Structure 1
Amino acid sequence: MTVPQSRPPDVADGAPDTAAGAPPEGYAPRFLHQRLFGVARIAAFTLDRDGRILYWNAAAADLFGVPPDDAVGHDPAALLRLPGEHRAAFQPGAFGHVWCGACTVPRADHGELVETAWWVYPLEDAPGIGALALAADLRHLREEGPGLSMGGVLVAGPDGAARRDSGARLLRVEPALAASADADAARALARLLPPADPATPVIARRVLDLGCPAVTLSLTIRLPIVPYRGGPPDDPRVRPRAAGAARPGEPPRPDTVREHLAFLGEAGDQIGGSLDHLQAARTLAAAIVPRFADFAAVELLDVVADAAGPAADIDDTVRVRRVGVVHNDEPGRWDDAVPEGEVLRLPPGTSCLQAMRSGRTVHVPRVDDACAARLAAPFTDRDLRPLYTGRALVIVPLIARGRALGNIKLLRKPDRPGFDDVDLALLGELARRAALCIDNGRLYRREVQVAQELQRSMLPDDPPDVAGARVRYRYRPAGQAAQVGGDWFDAIPLPGCRLGIVVGDVMGHGLTSAAIMGQLRTAVRTLAGEDTRPGRLLRQLDGLARRLGEDYLATCLYAIYDPVARTCTLANAGHVPPVLVAPDGGSRVLDLPEGVPIGVGGAPFEAVQIPVEDGSRLVLCTDGLLERRDRDLDEGLRELRGHLAAAPPDLDAACDAVLAGLGSDNPVDDVALVAVGFDGLPPADVAAWDLEPEPSMVRWARAQVAERLTRWGLDALTPTIQLLASELATNALLHGAGSVRLRLVRGRALVCEVYDDGADLPHLRTAAATDESGRGLQLVSHLAARWGTHRTAHGKVVWFEHDL
């Protein structure tokens, strides 16, 4: 089928015009209003005498991603980042004739490249206006126009002669140099300009005098749709295949445009049905074989396959990974020659590298022996010539968002017809759709990986090893990767062999919730390190969340277990209540004041202290473990108590039994579970003395410490512990108030605590050579493994730990 021409037929395709003379008699620039303006949205803007934008229509905002307020008053060449050879066209008076051209520009909002056709008209008699520019998206012209052909771009210069823009790889565009008073064209052009501007009729008349732009077609090609001829479009048809083209055993081949479109739709649904970019690539290969090819291999850039970062530039060191291979030969025929998962380094000059660099399909109608040898040359450890020889080869690049992701390599056996133009067009469209699905899957996987890595980095690794308690964690992310949330948990060793336990749940999901979770967990650890009581800790956490922002909402439960006093103090901020399991297996949900979530404010957080027996267990969790569509929170708590009653005494086994029983293999929300076994410290490992606040108490305390260390078999530590304990006792005598109490606790480390009723907390300072005080805490800091101070209900405690 030969497409009608809109310029003299003696101009050969691919050769530059030497003149832009008058069109043949009877020529009318009908494409202006019947094709160009009717098919694609036309961006229009006017320039003042200084080359600044005066008017910017809505189509220009949509095409270039620049709103009118950001465009008016700017230089279009700089605003649109035009290539150097196109900048002069937007200087008023640069050409004495209409200028036509084409180039690729990035959108301002997200950087996607847009292939754009331009027509620039210098306007000498329009008041205050120096030029009018029209632009169209060439992709829309190709997809919606009458099968527009690929070719160079013809540009009319100042002398009226046409020249070819050799750098363009777009549509053939030329000015129709005939004057026309076509009223339809004038109305179509006027609609692009501001209706209230009195210069609009002048601009339209001037443009028509200069010549209307026309898109020309001059190739003899088969098109999947017929050209427009002025009436209702006929039913789409393709050229009938030659008789006898189909051979016995050839797979069925679509023979109508509807079948092509149905195939594209079906294949697109299959490829886009998975958020896994590797699965989408494999589905692409499976959709093509055997319908359009006998062999298909999808190769992705190694960085794309790993979803490790953005697609890299295509250079001589690029590496690709073969992620999908499908063929209709005997099973296993090519498994060793082209295995899936193989990473390849493409040597310079290979067809695959050429396709990705240029963005163009590489088509070899028949691979001869020499070509097969070149294709197989990079594989020195195997002979791939039998795979290529005699077959038709097509390499289609996978391009998405202006970046090459890889390519798909297709082969047809010698007994099948080669790839024709319709096949290449369909495969190119399928590759574009598949590349977008693959890139979307890669971006989705990368986002999920970032969220999961962020969340994992903010959760504790191994439970702490503390005296008097055992801690076990379990965490299950949501079954849907997009539901990565803000559940957190922690166990924090505190002074005096105590243990802080926290479980929280940030409202919402995604990266924001994970980031908020990390901030709140850090804040809890910081406040707990100051030995802040549970109610006060939640109040301070609530104040912090409200200062950080409105989105900082979370539930939280904080508890402190004292293995010496055998008590557990808890405070709740709208979280799921914990379950306490007695040594005999009986369980109960602790009745705590619920409180409001963190970040709401306006309500106190009350702490409750309960006695706990040795051998009992405390289980804390988030609502993702308990709530389901068919199960509310109360029912989930009842089931949790039942599973805990039947669980084995080992904490690890008990946690696994609870997760298995409550069906958390594929949760719809994050699941966090913390189990704490209360063992307590034996009374023989604790020694305490009340000291009279007088100078002799220091000597008496030293004697008591030495006697207890001897009983515990720690005589080697006696000199050091005596020295440090006497320093703390002296500090309490000089700077404290009220009664003084000394306590030694033997756990994972030896802990020494000195209590007094004073309110002032001591701090480490540098003592000068003439100072009489200030060296005691320096000595403690130097000899002890850890030391610190915190307030109590009636005073303060200064403590240190010494490793055993």
Structure 2
Amino acid sequence: MTVPQSRPPDIADGAPSARAEAYTPRFLSQQLLGVARLAAFTLDRDGRVLHWNAAATDLFGVPPDDATGRDPAALLRLPSEHRAAFRPGAFGHVWCGACTVPRADHGELVETAWWVYPIDDAPGIGVLALAADLRHLREEGPGLSMGGVLVAGPDGAARRDSGARLLRVEPALADGAAAPVAGALAGLLPPADPATSIITRRVLDLGCPAVSLSLTIRLPVVPYRGGPPYAPHVRPLAADTTARPDAPVRPGADTDAVREHLAFLGEAGQQIGSSLDHLQAARTLAEVLVPRLADFAAVELLESVVADSAPHFDRIDETTPMRRVAVVHDEPGRWDGVVPEDAPLLFPSSAPFVQAMRAGNPVHIPHVGPERAAELADLCGGPHLRPLFAGRAFLVVPLIARGCVLGTFKLLRKPDRPGFDDLDLALLGELARRTALCIDNGRLYRREVQTAQELQRSMLPDDPPDVAGARVRYRYRPAGQAAQVGGDWFDAIPLPGCRLGIVVGDVMGHGLTSAAIMGQLRTAVRTLAGEDTRPGRLLRQLDGLARRLGDGYLATCLYAIYDPVSRTCTLANAGHVPPVLVAPDGTGRVLDLPEGVPIGVGGAPFDTVQIPVEDGSRLVLCTDGLLERRDRDLDQGLRELCAHLAAAPPDLDAACDAVLAGLGSADPADDIALVAVGFDGVPADDVAAWDLAPEPSMVRWARAQVAERLTKWDLDALTPTIQLLASELATNALLHGAGSIRLRLVRGRALVCEVYDDGADLPQLRTAAATDESGRGLQLVSNLAARWGTHRTTAGKVVWFEHDL
């Protein structure tokens, strides 16, 4: 590509028509009338953007509101050597050039052709800049459409050259082209701006070539149209000695060979690149080479590439481990045992394989003699391999992608076939480059998949918690495609008072971003649930957090709290799939909950619903990946879920497996999360509660009640400790609380003691000095209990502790 970077000689005198012909390409002899979409913007005298048209937004990804008033050099991240052209008065004359700038919205690089005109006679305007996509100019070539701007030569005639694909874009040069060009340029600027006509006239006076392109066209490649590889066409097995030396050569024979090789290259490249598995790409390479180009092919990759467990080696030597990943030959059964696949290899530095990887060039031995055959056999496995090399043509081609060595492949041809010629070497070199990119892309893709899956797995819970009065089982099945790794999450959170929090959510979208958002929301739910927040309030706080984090934080969520003592379930929904409650007799029903809006939308309340649940019933929560398919909507999926749960066995694990087998698929289009909770309740004999009078004598009475209950539960060994801690909490409620006081003991997986009062102030753990009269009660609780905490209730607060049994 040739781009004028300085002022042409004819511009200084303002007489373009006479001298512009001096630098018009001589081979532009045909006619061209084209139109292309031009980005246009003007700068004020301080170099700030005044006007920014729609084409500029499309080209650079910057909206007009974001562009106005900014310096284009910083806005477009222009190269430093081109910035002077956009400073009013700094450059002094028309500038035509090209540079690469990144789009502001997604960072994609845009090759841009520029026309920059200094404007010194329009009020408030210092520069007019026009731009076009250089790749568009290359691809369209002659016959280009250019947003109303006439493409004309210095003499007013259109120009074209269809053979060389060379194009000159000139906003205006001749009197004959001035009228349409003036109208087109005016259309790029604000019509109400009085300076528009001044700018247009100025540009017409300064008319100059915009861009000259000289392109190199790649040789055509026949597209892959499906079916098997190109039919093998083995060249003559030996030279034809019967042909006369003076026999005429068929015209076009070399052209046919090139065309045949290019067709094979295109089809082989399609097959090798059809898999995202880097090892499968290596095997496909060996398969397409035999028998078309060789009688024996083997692909060896670096061990780090095969395992993808370490970075590439900076230095290749005899300590570099390799692995043979593919072997293909035309003698079935002969070499399978002596040249096995998946064999580890170590080659000395003098081996041709190491030399090819070090130099980055093929190693070609046209004829392997007996001594060299013995040497190669020893390198590859032993003397029994000498017949594989002896008398054959031998070629080792390195596999290199993005400057990193990945391995090699070696080829052998039998003596009855011609050796590798220049055309073969060129073809194999191109095929090696394509294959290396496919292998490296597959390796990177697998690493991305593993990263996404590990990220998602690390953010999901491990084993379900073991809590009193409830049984929890999880099932999770990721999407079948790595690109579909999403933000489904679920959790079961033990809460004070033997209660259990259950949450299921689904972040909108897929990919690493959704998985990361899922992790943040799951952490926030666990934090809010630890404060014993009611479901509706928890969803409101989660919604506020999501809106503060960003616009992309959208998710559906369902949160429920099961109380095994009162045998109630409290739920709130934020646009999620409703749960199914299965009664002890096996009948299931979809709970009618207020749907709510998804998390992150805001502006709507989340209503809380409390329902009684029987012992032996089950609550099933899931994400829409289990229910929705192309042939099944959500309502139908819920009906089928109820039917499968009614027929499922009572065991929770078996029920979950039956539901997945009936509704799920082995390769789901979306993540599937399933949580089943069995409600057993806490027996009434394991709960004791007393209402305490708010007077000092109630502490001694409470100690006596606790001792009596612990004796009944055969927990006499815990009596001194539990009495001390319960009396401390009761005393705090008497001194710092308000209203009525209630003490409750619950025997579950641990012994739970709770003290309720109507006060609003939550007690805080602090360090008591030697002379302090208070502050030691919670210190005792913190040191002697396994866990303790405090949270607000509807009417006041509760302070609790747990002691392991």
TM-based fold match above 0.5: yes
Question: Contact between 1:627 and 1:633, CA under 8 Å: does it hold in 2?
Answer: yes
Show the 5 A alignment for 1:523-538: 523-538=524-539
- Tell me the residue number matched to 2:427: 426
Change (3 A) 1:189 1:711: closer
Instruction: Please give the alpha-carbon distance, in whole angstroms, between the structure 2 residues aligned to 1:190 and 1:521.
Output: 58
Instruction: Please give the alpha-carbon distance, in whole angstroms, between the structure 1 residues aligned to 2:416 and 2:457.
Output: 56
Structure 2 unaligned regions, length at least 5 = 1-24, 29-58, 60-73, 84-99, 107-137, 139-160, 174-202, 221-233, 242-253
Map Cα deviations across residues 491-533 of structure 1 (whole Å, 9 max, x no partner).
0111111100000000000000000001100111111111111
SS of the residue corresponding to residue 745 of structure 1 reads strand
Change (3 A) 1:34 1:419: farther
- Tell me the residue number matched to 1:492: 493
Question: Contact between 1:545 and 1:599, CA under 8 Å: does it hold in 2?
Answer: yes
Write the letter of the residue equivalent to 2:648. A
SS of the residue corresponding to residue 453 of structure 2 reads helix
Map Cα deviations across residues 351-393 of structure 1 (whole Å, 9 max, x no partner).
2222222221111112223323333444567753333222211
Map Cα deviations across residues 189-229 of structure 1 (whole Å, 9 max, x no partner).
9969999999999xx9xxxxxxxx9x9xxxxxxxx99xxxx
Instruction: Please give the alpha-carbon distance, in whole angstroms, between the structure 1 residues aligned to 2:595 and 2:543.
Output: 15
Instruction: Please give the alpha-carbon distance, in whole angstroms, between the structure 2 residues aligned to 1:483 and 1:569.
Output: 33
- Tell me the residue number matched to 1:73: 81
- Tell me the residue number matched to 2:97: none
- Tell me the residue number matched to 2:290: 289
Instruction: Please give the alpha-carbon distance, in whole angstroms, between the structure 1 residues aligned to 2:385 and 2:170.
Output: 61
1:337 aligns with 2:348: no
- Tell me the residue number matched to 1:469: 470
Change (3 A) 1:189 1:466: closer
Question: Contact between 2:237 and 2:417, CA under 8 Å: does it hold in 1?
Answer: no
| TM-score relative to the length of structure 2 | 0.70
SS of the residue corresponding to residue 572 of structure 1 reads strand
Instruction: Please give the alpha-carbon distance, in whole angstroms, between the structure 1 residues aligned to 2:781 and 2:538.
Output: 28
Displacement of 1:310 after TM fit? 5.3
Aligned partner (choices 235, 239, 242) of residue 245 of structure 1: 239
Question: Contact between 1:664 and 1:671, CA under 8 Å: does it hold in 2?
Answer: no
- Tell me the residue number matched to 1:568: 569
Write the letter of the residue equivalent to 1:274. S
- Tell me the residue number matched to 1:392: 393
Instruction: Please give the alpha-carbon distance, in whole angstroms, between the structure 1 residues aligned to 2:346 and 2:610.
Output: 66
- Tell me the residue number matched to 2:226: none
Show the 5 A alignment for 1:86-235: none
Question: Contact between 2:460 and 2:490, CA under 8 Å: does it hold in 1?
Answer: yes
- Tell me the residue number matched to 1:587: 588
- Tell me the residue number matched to 1:413: 414
Write the letter of the residue equivalent to 2:323. R
Displacement of 1:295 after TM fit? 1.2
- Tell me the residue number matched to 1:656: 657
Change (3 A) 1:783 1:243: closer
Identical counterparts, % of pairs:
78
Instruction: Please give the alpha-carbon distance, in whole angstroms, between the structure 2 residues aligned to 1:620 and 1:292.
Output: 59
Displacement of 1:673 after TM fit? 0.4
Change (3 A) 1:33 1:743: farther
Displacement of 1:577 after TM fit? 0.1
Displacement of 1:339 after TM fit? 2.0
Show the 5 A alignment for 1:272-287: 272-287=273-288
- Tell me the residue number matched to 1:606: 607
Instruction: Please give the alpha-carbon distance, in whole angstroms, between the structure 1 residues aligned to 2:491 and 2:165.
Output: 69
Displacement of 1:765 after TM fit? 0.3
- Tell me the residue number matched to 1:680: 681
- Tell me the residue number matched to 1:319: 321
Write the letter of the residue equivalent to 2:293. F
Displacement of 1:320 after TM fit? 2.2
Instruction: Please give the alpha-carbon distance, in whole angstroms, between the structure 1 residues aligned to 2:277 and 2:304.
Output: 15
Task: Return 320-329 or 732-741, whichever deviates more.
Answer: 320-329
Displacement of 1:74 after TM fit? 8.0
Structure 1 unaligned regions, length at least 5 = 1-31, 36-60, 76-105, 111-139, 141-183, 205-212, 216-223, 226-239, 248-252
Change (3 A) 1:668 1:189: closer
Instruction: Please give the alpha-carbon distance, in whole angstroms, between the structure 2 residues aligned to 1:708 and 1:321.
Output: 71
Displacement of 1:71 after TM fit? 2.8
Displacement of 1:306 after TM fit? 2.6
Question: Contact between 1:308 and 1:446, CA under 8 Å: does it hold in 2?
Answer: no
- Tell me the residue number matched to 1:721: 722
Write the letter of the residue equivalent to 2:670. D
Question: Contact between 1:254 and 1:260, CA under 8 Å: does it hold in 2?
Answer: no
Question: Contact between 1:626 and 1:637, CA under 8 Å: does it hold in 2?
Answer: yes
Question: Contact between 1:321 and 1:342, CA under 8 Å: does it hold in 2?
Answer: yes
- Tell me the residue number matched to 1:148: none
| TM-score relative to the length of structure 1 | 0.70
Write the letter of the residue equivalent to 1:321. R
Change (3 A) 1:643 1:335: same
Task: Return 371-380 or 769-778, whichever deviates more.
Answer: 371-380
Displacement of 1:265 after TM fit? 1.6
RMSD: 3.7
Write the letter of the residue equivalent to 1:245. A
Change (3 A) 1:292 1:769: same
Instruction: Please give the alpha-carbon distance, in whole angstroms, between the structure 2 residues aligned to 1:107 and 1:334.
Output: 55
Question: Contact between 2:76 and 2:102, CA under 8 Å: does it hold in 1?
Answer: no
Instruction: Please give the alpha-carbon distance, in whole angstroms, between the structure 1 residues aligned to 2:678 and 2:783.
Output: 34
- Tell me the residue number matched to 1:665: 666
Change (3 A) 1:198 1:310: farther
SS of the residue corresponding to residue 70 of structure 1 reads coil
Instruction: Please give the alpha-carbon distance, in whole angstroms, between the structure 1 residues aligned to 2:310 and 2:670.
Output: 28
Instruction: Please give the alpha-carbon distance, in whole angstroms, between the structure 1 residues aligned to 2:538 and 2:703.
Output: 36
Write the letter of the residue equivalent to 1:290. P
Instruction: Please give the alpha-carbon distance, in whole angstroms, between the structure 2 residues aligned to 1:272 and 1:33.
Output: 43
1:264 aligns with 2:265: yes
Question: Contact between 1:484 and 1:509, CA under 8 Å: does it hold in 2?
Answer: yes
Question: Contact between 1:246 and 1:416, CA under 8 Å: does it hold in 2?
Answer: no
Change (3 A) 1:242 1:698: closer
- Tell me the residue number matched to 1:10: none
- Tell me the residue number matched to 2:375: 374
Question: Contact between 1:33 and 1:188, CA under 8 Å: does it hold in 2?
Answer: no
SS of the residue corresponding to residue 490 of structure 1 reads strand
Map Cα deviations across residues 610-633 of structure 1 (whole Å, 9 max, x no partner).
000000000000000000000000
1:446 aligns with 2:479: no
Question: Contact between 1:538 and 1:573, CA under 8 Å: does it hold in 2?
Answer: yes
Question: Contact between 1:309 and 1:446, CA under 8 Å: does it hold in 2?
Answer: no
Show the 5 A alignment for 1:666-745: 666-745=667-746
Change (3 A) 1:621 1:246: farther
Write the letter of the residue equivalent to 2:454. E
SS of the residue corresponding to residue 81 of structure 2 reads coil
Write the letter of the residue equivalent to 2:81. G
Change (3 A) 1:563 1:437: same
Displacement of 1:255 after TM fit? 5.9
Instruction: Please give the alpha-carbon distance, in whole angstroms, between the structure 2 residues aligned to 1:322 and 1:67.
Output: 51
SS of the residue corresponding to residue 645 of structure 1 reads helix
Task: Return 333-342 or 467-476, whichever deviates more.
Answer: 333-342
Task: Return 559-568 or 383-392, whichever deviates more.
Answer: 383-392
Displacement of 1:281 after TM fit? 1.2
Change (3 A) 1:614 1:254: farther
Displacement of 1:665 after TM fit? 1.5
Instruction: Please give the alpha-carbon distance, in whole angstroms, between the structure 2 residues aligned to 1:508 and 1:715.
Output: 56
Question: Contact between 1:698 and 1:726, CA under 8 Å: does it hold in 2?
Answer: yes
Instruction: Please give the alpha-carbon distance, in whole angstroms, between the structure 2 residues aligned to 1:73 and 1:397.
Output: 39
SS of the residue corresponding to residue 550 of structure 1 reads coil
- Tell me the residue number matched to 2:197: none
- Tell me the residue number matched to 1:790: 791
- Tell me the residue number matched to 1:53: none
SS of the residue corresponding to residue 78 of structure 2 reads helix
Change (3 A) 1:380 1:263: closer
Question: Contact between 2:76 and 2:101, CA under 8 Å: does it hold in 1?
Answer: no
